[in-house]
Amino acid sequence: MLPRTQTHRPGVFADAVRDDLIWSAATAGGCVETMSSACKGPAAAWCPATYNQRMLRSSLLAVALEVSTMSALTAAPALAPRIDAAAARVEQNVIAVRRDIHQHPELGNREERTAKIVADKLRALGIDVQEKVAHTGVVGILRGGKPGKVVALRADMDALPVTEQVDLPFASKVRSTYNGQDVGVMHACGHDAHVAILLGVAEVLAGIREELPGTVKFIFQPAEEGAPQGEEGGAELMVKEGALKNPDVDAIFGLHVTSRFAVGEIAYKPGGMMAAVDSFKIKVVGKQTHGAYPWLGVDPIVVAAQIVLGLQTIPSRQVDASLAPSIVTVGAIHGGVRNNIIPDEVEMIGTIRSLDAKMREEIHTRIRRTAESIAASGGATANVTITTGYPITYNDPALTERSLPSLRTSAGAENVKLVNAVLGAEDFSFFQREVPGLFFWVGTRPKDQTPEQAASNHSPLFFIDESGLGLGVRALANVAADYLTHSVR
């Protein structure tokens, strides 16, 4: 290769690489001059000068494509250092907001105070705000400085009817009424952290709005744990009321803190990550009689016991367990009032979990068949009611793959883990039914504890190591910014 002097503009990487590649192509074989008189006619195709000119044209085309690719790859990471720095600046405020919300938890569809905190904060950042979406939900719209796609980020806001047992200066002392019962109220699933994290992300992205090509929607959702009896709520109602419209969302991201993973870790799974959840009620009707003379009646308690056992053969024997795990659990049985009276009827309730849509339908069919057939064999009848709940939380595989570099930038590649699906459920799945989505775990377990030692989500002892909240801010901000940046190319 012939020596050359540096002609590109100092500090402009793409120009430097382009010039180097062009010079390398032009000097291939040691010839850059035009064709001589000796290279005319049929022999011209094999003349070194002619060959080099053809190679030069091919190389220039390849260089143009490569420089275009490098420009795309080098522009997006430029935002990552700014996001990291901004996330570090807002971290203490994120912790303070989380503690405030933790100390003042609110049940589903009653998140009035939390919603006001969210709306006031978004407005202070110059973000357009829509309130009272699906009762108490809040939607913020941040328009970037350049045209582009629309990405949504979601946090749930509701607490649980759980009495807190964690010894914290900001522990919840709140009591409320839940379905007619007096209960303690606690953020036992980390939704206080989700709200605080997403408010931190809003502040980070508002600070770089001029560089963002597109729009970010911040969705603060009520009632993820379920609406009170007789009410609608949650993600399904937010979708109905247009949370993903005007402007239309192209992709959505969400996270969940968990004690299953240590601080600093992110876990994900493409495809089905969390189960669909449905509930069932089975009423077994027999014939009441004296407990000393069971042959004079039909014992619904014995029939119900046989149905409980029969239901367990559905996930273990009747559906393909190698395809995806599933669960049929009977959670409560009620029947009878005295020890010597065989009652007329028994009622049982339970939950169904599945990770495959076709299998979900098949399980429903088999529950009805199993209960009705066993009841008939004992001379009783079984009335089966199945209520569908949340769909499968399904991470779009292509969106998951393109988001992995953002997650690895945020946590370090060694801390981003591919994990198995779980049979818990999430109503984030209603958003994913409408647009491609990615939902992932953020670890908040203290590093000196094992998963077995740490209290799980929904426990009155559930504890969050707040040093893990900053990773949540970085991860959501990076996946949103990178999605918008890469989508315009």
List active site positions: 390, 466
Q: Report the distance separating Cα 293 and Cα 297, nearest Å.
A: 8
Do the beta carbons of residue 259 and residue 445 sit within 8 Å? yes
Half-sphere exposure of 25 (CA within 13 A, CB side): 18
Residues comprising the chain, all counted:
489
Query: DSSP assignment, residue 259?
Result: E
Cβ contact 351:329 at 8 Å: yes
Residue 470: Cβ within 10 Å count:
22
CA distance 454 to 202: 30
- The separation between the first and the last C-alpha atoms of the chain, rounded to the nearest angstrom, is 34
- The Cα–Cα gap between 255 and 265 comes to 12
In whole angstroms, give the CA distance from residue 292 to residue 44.
Answer: 111
What is the residue-wise DSSP string for 68-114? Answer: HHHHHHHHGGGHHHHHHHHHHHHHHHHHHHHHHHHHS---TT--HHH
CA 332 to chain centroid? 31
Nearest CA to 100 out of 163, 154, 172 is that of: 172
Question: What is the bridge-based pairing of β-strands 437-445 and 266-268?
Answer: antiparallel
